[in-house]
Structure 1
Amino acid sequence: MRTHWRSQAPVTAVVLTFLALGLSGAPASAQTQAQAAQAAQATVRINEVESNNGSPGDWVEIVNTGSAAVDVSGWLVKDNDDDHSYKIAKKTTLAAGAFLALDVDPSFGLGSEDSARLYNGSTLVDSYSWDDHADTTYGRCPDGTGAFTTTTTPTKGKANACGTTGGGGGQPVHGAWPGGSAVTNADGSNVFGENLSGLSFESSGVLWAVNNGPSKLYRLVPNGSTWRPDTTGGWSKGKALHYPGGSGDPDAEAVVSTPEGLFVATERDNDKDSTSKPEILRFDGSATSSSLNATAEWNLTSDLPSLPENGGFEGISWIPDSFLTAHDFRDEHTGAAYDPASYPGHGSGLFFGGVEDNSTIYAYALNQSGGGFTRIATVASGLSAVMELEFEPATGHLWAVCDDSCQGQSAVLDINAQGQFAATAVYDRPSGMSNYNNEGFAIAPQSACVSGHKPVVWSDDANDGGHALRAGTLNCTA
């Protein structure tokens, strides 16, 4: 994102709702009304599910996480069978922060291996799947935004009973940074300036970085205890990025190095910076040209909620199929265990994109010929915003990182018994680091461990104090 301002989902919903009324009291256009509906829809979430011995039967609770009421009249709740449907009554409005328990019995019953899916017309708003009945209920912790876990007791129509500890029935553990407290500058003075965003280590030890405006890709190499742009191959000042064919200035917010190449996540085209355009682009990092045109493009606008132009993709990570299948990752598209063979041409792993505006992570199988994609999972990050994602192969953690808007906290997500990524811990930033506008985070390979610690690097979009890169350490837990 551009430095010093950002949009929040509740504000967006309020603004769009105001516009839908018309500035002069006149009816708004159908397009504006649709945008308002989409923005409001994004604040309603499934919050708690009772699938066994409920009162009077099975029920699904929804919550409005926004700051404005949402009309949910006619919305549908389904289980994993499209023929099983419960329709919310007419004139049903869900106030801001309110809970609504829907008694889906006798329309249908929820099974021990089932799903709860919430629809607004034909649009899937939210879903949750499980493999066995909960001892109590399954609920989000914290309400509306956190990952689903087993609650300590059913709380129909009320805030969830989450307990106080992580690891089986409560909120994620909150603790100090699991590494060294010291943080040092990791670049020369004003080498990058503002807008340095995502980071990603290559297995060779090269550190890739992107600048979001104007869009650039940097190949960074060690320079003693710091990092500098590679002086070979035309990389000394970074390389400008463009869409396929050479057009535009993609707002590059995140980068990840994979066996299929370098992939960059964007919020918009800076040449048309008032319009949201959440995309993933692939680039050839071995190209010798002075600027780089994307070799493939995936426009995910149609699959995501309506987003402000400055609230789209901020983080991207890649997780190999071998890890996901070994840990029984659940494919929400099929409702079964993830099977890579179901997505021919997608490569050897899935891409996880973090959206700033709704603090949600979306997993995709991308057809490597470009364009085609399938959403595999939707994951609550456990944070109020996502500015970076980083997969740590040694531990199986998916790290979600926030900026100064949430005091530089990081959440660790792991695959749970239901086959879903869920937050298991939230860590404070290292005590030796100020509350910088960090939008990038990269963990060095496990082979870089020395005396039980491995390097990590943050990128500061604001270039505070003339430095955009800072280095610290993380415990080498396996």
Structure 2
Amino acid sequence: MTASTARRRRPVLSRLLVAAPLLAAGVLTCAPAAQARAAADDIRINEVVTTGDVNDSIELHNKGTATIDVSGWVLKDDDKSHSYKIASGTTLAPGGFRSFDVSGKFGLGSDDEARLYRADGKTLVDSFAWSKHSDPSWSRCADGTGAFKKVATVTLGRANGCGSGGDGGSVTPVAWPGGSSVATADGSNVFGEDLSGLYQDNGVLWGAQNSGKLWRLVRDGSGGWKPDTASGWSSGKTLRFPGGSGHPDSEGVTLTGAGSTGGAFVASERNGDASGTSRLSVLKYDVSGSGSSLTAAREWNLTSDLPSTGSNLGFEGITWVPDTALTGAGFKDASTGAAYDPARYGAHSGGVFFVGVEGTGTIYGYVLTDSGAYTRVASFSSGLSNVMELQWEPQTSRLWAVCDDTCDGRHHTLKINSSGTFATTAVYNRPSGMPNYNNEGFSLAGASECVAGSKPVYWSDDANDGGHALRRGTITC
């Protein structure tokens, strides 16, 4: 070392000698910017869902101990020109999960990559690449720290399904629990396309059609269904929003314990007259009249209470679960963190309405009061990349969540677990004798139709394949 070099380094050494006792005493700390960078390293890509169509989602997880503001951060695929900017005000709490549907900006292919950047769009935080579609989920096991692997359950917004069992773990798909064959259950080209949600009650099958129409179907004498020709139902009835305006994009239908006398409740994702805007609503209709159209007696517009989604990726399924079934199973009210108490909500339907969002596969539970108010009491993953139908089966106290051809026609069942929340208990493949139809509706017969250990089930095919929109099969009782 030369003398000149030693002289140049002496001031640096002097500063270190002065700083050392101050650091030990806690007088000097790391710069705030350095702390922020270190904390940001706790944000990880945690789950990726690809379908090759819609609902391409990337989930982020905060594995650290501090809340991180991810406003303006950028998600990209393997194409640098594709980007999704995270909305202002978005934070991730310690241990938190947040999923982002990027399909409106770019698609995630079968051989692709998910990348996360800071708000400058240049500082890479994390990335994950794959060579096959998720089918249904690429999940990091364990959350935030482990390697990615394929799992059978989508868990966007919550801990990944890396274990085995019904409390959020991965559940292996099994064969359909009934007959392998299916048959048509309607006449030729009765409904055309877009027949969606189904609900069976007291010898009647109700059907919601996307074009803003509700059908009342009766048995045809050969195991199928036909339009009721009485009281103006022969061609279905046109649906309107309150006041008689618009055309609800009706995707699902259900009744309460009062049956049809208590009205039909329809889930709609938008107004057909403004198809580019989401309008996530539950509409109540009096179905006792004889006119050719129905005007909603009540609308619960839930759009502002839910994460934004594409206008054609909103509500798809709806079902009603009685309060008695929920309280008996120890259901926890997410709005209070305590056991669900129906009395706190005053006059309502005597149950909770569960609605499924197609674009995220998430299920939400709402108490809809007679006054028009609402309270969200549950939100959980269906375990599917898309959920197209929901059905409550009272005989087994389980909730059915159904996907269309996007997920190869898989069916999930969910039950209330020891934590008071719904969790996947089984994953069923579609019957082996049924092609991968675009089934958006599903309905199970009641216990009274159980014969020799089996009862009928029905599906509605949105695409009207082969000129038929309804098909029937069987399931064990």
TM-score, structure 2 as length reference: 0.72
Residues 153 and 170, structure 2, Cα contact 8 Å, conserved in 1: no
The structural deviation recorded for 1:345 is 1.9
| Alignment deviations for residues 394-439 of structure 1 (CA, whole Å, 9 cap, x no partner) | 0011000000001000000010000000111110000111000000
The equivalent position to 2:216 in structure 1, one of 211, 214, 219, is 219
Query: How has the CA–CA distance of structure 1 residues 245 and 187 changed in structure 2, closer, same or farther, with 3 Å as cutoff?
Result: same
Query: How has the CA–CA distance of structure 1 residues 17 and 186 changed in structure 2, closer, same or farther, with 3 Å as cutoff?
Result: farther
Instruction: State whether structure 2 residue 344 is matched by structure 1 residue 363.
Output: no
The equivalent position to 1:348 in structure 2, one of 329, 340, 350, is 350
Corresponding residue for 1:115? none
Structure 1 residues 274-313: aligned runs within 5 Å: 274-313=276-315
The structural deviation recorded for 1:172 is 2.0
Query: How has the CA–CA distance of structure 1 residues 70 and 324 changed in structure 2, closer, same or farther, with 3 Å as cutoff?
Result: farther
The equivalent position to 2:242 in structure 1, one of 238, 241, 244, is 244
- Unaligned ranges ≥5, structure 1: 20-24, 26-32, 47-58, 74-90, 103-140, 150-159
Query: How has the CA–CA distance of structure 1 residues 284 and 398 changed in structure 2, closer, same or farther, with 3 Å as cutoff?
Result: same
Query: How has the CA–CA distance of structure 1 residues 327 and 266 changed in structure 2, closer, same or farther, with 3 Å as cutoff?
Result: same
- The total of aligned residue pairs comes to 377
The structural deviation recorded for 1:8 is 1.9
| Alignment deviations for residues 73-124 of structure 1 (CA, whole Å, 9 cap, x no partner) | 9xxxxxxxxxxxxxxxxx995656779989xxxxxxxxxxxxxxxxxxxxxx
State the alpha-carbon separation in 2 of the partners of residues 45 and 473 from structure 1.
45
The structural deviation recorded for 1:205 is 1.5
Corresponding residue for 1:85? none
Residues 61 and 100, structure 1, Cα contact 8 Å, conserved in 2: no
State the alpha-carbon separation in 2 of the partners of residues 200 and 39 from structure 1.
41
Query: How has the CA–CA distance of structure 1 residues 474 and 69 changed in structure 2, closer, same or farther, with 3 Å as cutoff?
Result: same
Structure 1 residues 164-183: aligned runs within 5 Å: 165-167=164-166, 170-183=169-182
Corresponding residue for 1:454? 455
The structural deviation recorded for 1:247 is 0.3
The structural deviation recorded for 1:380 is 0.7
Query: How has the CA–CA distance of structure 1 residues 92 and 101 changed in structure 2, closer, same or farther, with 3 Å as cutoff?
Result: farther
- Unaligned ranges ≥5, structure 2: 1-51, 61-71, 76-80, 102-113, 129-138, 145-150
| Alignment deviations for residues 363-411 of structure 1 (CA, whole Å, 9 cap, x no partner) | 00011232x1110010110111100000000001100000000100000
Q: What amino acid is aligned across from residue 377 of structure 1 in structure 2?
A: A
Residues 268 and 315, structure 2, Cα contact 8 Å, conserved in 1: yes
| Alignment deviations for residues 35-75 of structure 1 (CA, whole Å, 9 cap, x no partner) | 9535996xx988xxxxxxxxxxxx726476764527699xx
Q: What amino acid is aligned across from residue 315 of structure 1 in structure 2?
A: G
Corresponding residue for 2:194? 195
Structure 1 residues 52-201: aligned runs within 5 Å: 60=95, 62=97, 67=114, 69=116, 145=155, 162-163=162-163, 165-167=164-166, 170-201=169-200
Q: What amino acid is aligned across from residue 162 of structure 2 in structure 1?
A: C
Corresponding residue for 2:416? 415
3-state SS of paired residue (2:217): strand
| Alignment deviations for residues 274-317 of structure 1 (CA, whole Å, 9 cap, x no partner) | 11111110011112111000010011110111111110000001
Q: What amino acid is aligned across from residue 187 of structure 1 in structure 2?
A: D
3-state SS of paired residue (1:277): strand
Corresponding residue for 2:6? none
Residues 218 and 225, structure 2, Cα contact 8 Å, conserved in 1: yes
Residues 200 and 442, structure 1, Cα contact 8 Å, conserved in 2: yes
State the alpha-carbon separation in 2 of the partners of residues 368 and 297 from structure 1.
11
The structural deviation recorded for 1:161 is 7.9
TM-score, structure 1 as length reference: 0.71
Residues 361 and 378, structure 1, Cα contact 8 Å, conserved in 2: yes
Corresponding residue for 1:400? 401
State the alpha-carbon separation in 1 of the partners of residues 97 and 463 from structure 2.
38
State the alpha-carbon separation in 2 of the partners of residues 161 and 458 from structure 1.
28
Corresponding residue for 2:275? 273
3-state SS of paired residue (2:234): coil
State the alpha-carbon separation in 2 of the partners of residues 471 and 17 from structure 1.
48
Residues 61 and 99, structure 1, Cα contact 8 Å, conserved in 2: no
* Higher gyration radius (CA): 2
State the alpha-carbon separation in 2 of the partners of residues 373 and 169 from structure 1.
27
Residues 45 and 144, structure 1, Cα contact 8 Å, conserved in 2: no
State the alpha-carbon separation in 2 of the partners of residues 313 and 99 from structure 1.
30
